[in-house]
Amino acid sequence: MRFETTAIHSGGGPCPATGAIVTPIYQTSTFVFEDVGKTRGYDYSRTSNPTRKALEDTIAALEGGRAGSAFATGMAAETTVMHLLKQGDHVISQEDLYGGTYRLFENVMKNFGLEFTFVSMDNKAEIEAAIKPNTRMIWMETISNPLLNIVDVEMVAGVAKKHGLITVADNTLPSPYLLRPIEYGIDLVVHSTTKYLNGHCDVVGGAVVAVDDKLAERVKFLSNAMGTSASPFDCWLVLRGIKTLPVRMTQHCQSATAIASFLEKHPGVKRVFYPGLKSHPHYKIAKKQMKGYSGMVSFEIVGGARAVKSFLRRVKIFSLAESLGGVDSLVEHPATMSHASMPESFRKKVGITDSLIRLSIGLENIDDLKEDLKQALEHA
């Protein structure tokens, strides 16, 4: 089956008991044993649940991995993956990454004796120079948030293989429709399903897909042991969202491309970050490994803090909110919102300036979106 068909038909098919075409929400904590020591495949919903399994199988199929696990949030998925490691292990992480991930590494996992080195993931020499005897893992974002840098996943996977390191790719921004990191040699794919996979701004969730059974089993063990798994209802919502992922992504990409070109020509805009623009430093690698450039556009506004505030107050269709990847267009200010948990000095080093604004292009009419940005920029 091709991608669009898999998105709709994987996950077990119609309910064998009733014929319901949609996977039911198995809203139950526990499952009755058939006999002493004999279940029907399920015993307790923290461990596993049929609605969750349908979602896990679907995401695994879309990513081309062996098996998946679904989590309560993207951060629950990431926290669980970090527990593959033990005290004293060293992780090489991309420096330009989601603020919550940075906070998890710096302010939580470090307290448990993990070490981190943050590098620019487009620099092979810098990655290799960071490898130490206790290095176990390389962590990357396939499209980084909020600067939309693109990681050459094949290059990073190659470095990791040479040194026996586990690679983890946060594939939230492209979604598997645009990029499948496992095909390029990545071991674990992480998602915040809150974003494009669900796509409707009505759930928080996470997922992990593993390249082989051994890693998948270990993630499942940790999910059960730590209790980080997703609820049946949330899984059902994400499953519903995934059915339209290909058509939504196609439109997100098309509208974001139009917005990026519009902003690039606007005198009120200093610089546009969009991997589909020829001016983007990673345009070539983006074009090579992705089917599209996703629906996120970041830009630096002319006029400093006053212009930022004025712009954020004046947009009408774009809502001032964190998150991304849904049908609603959103706007946010990374320095004070999504990336406020990063210290200012680190933000500066990475390139997240105070005049950076991040847009998540939704599925509203493109002319309405352009007009909204235009009027807000004119007054900024």
Q: Which residues are catalytic?
A: 46, 98, 170, 195
Of 65, 68, 100, 326, the one binding ligand PLP (CB under 6 A) is 100
- Contact call for residue 275 and ligand PLP (CB under 6 A): no
Peptide bond into 14 cis (omega under 30): no
- Contact call for residue 145 and ligand PLP (CB under 6 A): yes
- CB nearer ligand PLP, residue 4 or residue 322: 322
Of 51, 69, 79, 101, the one binding ligand PLP (CB under 6 A) is 101
Amino acid identity, residue 234? D
- CB nearer ligand PLP, residue 31 or residue 274: 274
- Contact call for residue 194 and ligand PLP (CB under 6 A): yes
**In which element (H, E) is residue 73 found?**
none
- Contact call for residue 206 and ligand PLP (CB under 6 A): yes
Q: How far is CA 95 from CA 138, 155, 261, in A?
A: 12, 17, 27
| Residues sharing a CB contact under 8 Å with residue 336, sequence separation 6 or more, in sequence order | none
- CB nearer ligand PLP, residue 141 or residue 187: 141
Distance, in Å, from the CA atom of 39 to the CA atom of 270, rounded to the nearest integer, reads 62
- Contact call for residue 172 and ligand PLP (CB under 6 A): yes
Residue 115, classed as helix, strand or coil, is: strand
- CB nearer ligand PLP, residue 99 or residue 268: 99
Residue 3, classed as helix, strand or coil, is: helix
Residue labelled with tokens 């092979």: 124
Residue 252, classed as helix, strand or coil, is: helix
| Residues sharing a CB contact under 8 Å with residue 197, sequence separation 6 or more, in sequence order | 59, 175, 191, 205, 207, 238, 241, 242, 245, 325
Interface with ligand PLP by CB under 6 A: which range of 39-47, 94-102, 263-271, 349-357?
94-102
Q: Which residues pair with 269 in a beta bridge?
A: 301
Binding-site residue total for ligand PLP (CB under 6 A)? 16
Contacts with ligand PLP, 49-78, as mask; x by CB under 6 A? ------------------------xxx---
- Contact call for residue 98 and ligand PLP (CB under 6 A): yes
- Residues at the interface with ligand PLP (CB under 6 A): 73-75, 98, 100-101, 141, 145, 170, 172-173, 192, 194-195, 204, 206
